[in-house]
Amino acid sequence: MRASQSADIHRALKLTRSFYEQSTIEVAKQLLGKYLVREHREGTTVGRIVETEAYVGPQDLACHAAKGRTARTEVMFGPAGHAYVYFIYGFYNMLNLVTEAKDFPAAVLIRAVEPVEGIHLMESRRRNGALRNLASGPGKLCQAFGIDRSLNGADLCGSVLFVEDHGEPVPKIRATSRIGVDYAGKWKDKPFRFVIRGSEFVSKI
DNA sequence: CAAGAGATCATCT
DNA sequence: GATGATCTCTTGA
């Protein structure tokens, strides 16, 4: 058990599978203000989620599953509450949390967190150690948290990678279009990106 | 500051 | 063989 846990006034509750089975938009919004926890042999890292994006099924042209069921997208077609981690641009991993019913391919991309615990460990894994730059982007946060494809398919109801509710009130949310999906036709402008208003730890305002 | 190039590889055509 | 749910560094105003 982590030292901070016993000191918390609100007990940290691990999100259950039923949380992830909700609609993807709902999950993306409700994840804001929750805490991403990564247990690693090098140590524990925790971050407050401040930015997410919803990828909402086979008809969403920005969603990888729009191209069909392949080895890569298989996890998204599986049951909710598992990690979908993929590698892109030859450098970076992206962390997604699979949502909704089995056989409906949808997920929430975790785009940014506010570093909370294990900051020294995050700094050692990142080039630029400035606090605001440690996990303010999907590639950065995977680096800072030691997340790679070995976690693809990991159960978020397990003990390696999960999300906690610390009883924090629902934050003020701002919705924008998603980043980097200009190829997605009429879907590129959908307001499926959600950020905590005023947070300085998001990837972009 | 804003804009642009380069890095580098798994995945799908 | 092309490209991408990105990041960092460099350049130039």
Q: What is the mean pLDDT of residues A81-100?
A: 97
Specify the DSSP class assigned to residue A37: E
Q: Which residues contact A73 (CB under 8 A, 6 or more apart)?
A: A64, A65, A67, A105
Does A131 score more than 60 pLDDT? Answer: yes
What is the CA A68 to C1' C5 distance in angstroms? 16
Q: Which nucleotides of strand B lie under 7 Å from a protein CB?
A: 7-13
Over range A126-133, report the average pLDDT: 89
Confidence of residue A6 (pLDDT cuts 50, 70, 90): very low
pTM confidence score = 0.94
Mean pLDDT value across residues A59-84: 97
Q: Quick one: pLDDT at residue A2? A: 58
Q: Minimal CA–CA distance to A79: which of A182, A179, A157?
A: A157
Quick one: what percent of chain A has pLDDT higher than 90?
92
Q: What is the pLDDT of residue A129?
A: 78
Q: Check pLDDT > 90 for residue A202.
A: yes
- Stated in angstroms, how far is A145 CA from B10 C1'? 21
Task: For residue A76, name the pLDDT band (cuts at 50, 70, 90).
Answer: very high
CA distance A138 to A192: 15
Rounded CA separation A75/A97 (Å): 10
- Residue length, chain A? 205
- Sorting pLDDT into bands at 50, 70 and 90, what band is A11? confident
**Whose C1' is closest to the CA of A88: which nucleotide?**
C4
C-alpha of A101 from chain center? 18
pLDDT at A96 over 60: yes
